[in-house]
Structure 1
Amino acid sequence: MKRNSAAAGLTLIEVLVALAIFTVLSVAVLGSLPTLFKVNRSNQNDQAVTVAAKAFMESVRTNLSTRAAFDAGVLPAAPDTSLMGGLTCTPTQSNPVPTWVTLTGSPQVRRVTLTCEGSGQPTYTFTLDVGRPAS
């Protein structure tokens, strides 16, 4: 006997197989969501630290843009860490080339390093070299 094409449909076995395939795929996709959330949170922390460090380095560049300020070598306050997930940032400065000094003994290049670290988190280090401004 021939089946009527208008009455044709899915058998129970076909529905169960399709449901099993859908379940396996759903479990695989949903299983990766916690990892994706963790990566997203880590990227947000990285971005917050980078933005704060960039703002700090821009203020350093602005502060050291005159010869008097460059010779004084005073750094601005460290970035606010309230938005950086508990990281503490410490700015330091050094003379990367000790032989490059003026007659008065102040360096011609200052290297400013911002190190941000916290417990259980990676350490971030940002470096900026600033040349002595012309008079």
Structure 2
Amino acid sequence: MTLTLSDEARRYIAAFADATGVTPVDCLVEDDRAVFVVPAGEMGAAIGPGGQTVEEVEEQLDTRVDLVEDADDPAAFVANCLAPAAVRNVTLSTQGGSTVAYVEVAQADRGVAIGAGGESIETARRLADRHFDIDDVQLA
């Protein structure tokens, strides 16, 4: 699948890569934050010791930065999108040409998975659609 990035997203990716040495595979730029999809296995380098590197990126971009670890498997990717919520299971279901990811989350982590104002679940929906053509993400 080919991702289309805005000019602003490309600038953010370049700035992130310069600051961290990690080149994100995707970036969603929103009003109050940027969400970077970091290659699998490179999350530690992207965050830096004690979160220092990501804090520097936040200062440089003057926005909040959230990170999602990439995955080759769609279920794993959806689970990564909802981190740090404890995802127990992700089931993909296709009906009538639509694919929905049903996510089982520990009851105590439902609020984390949804996020303030639905921010986390909406980000998961957008990224799942962009990377795996998943039409919806629902908490089961």
Normalising to structure 1: TM-score of the pair?
0.21
Structure 1 or 2: more helix by fraction? 2
More strand by share: 2
> Who wins on radius of gyration, i.e. which is larger?
1
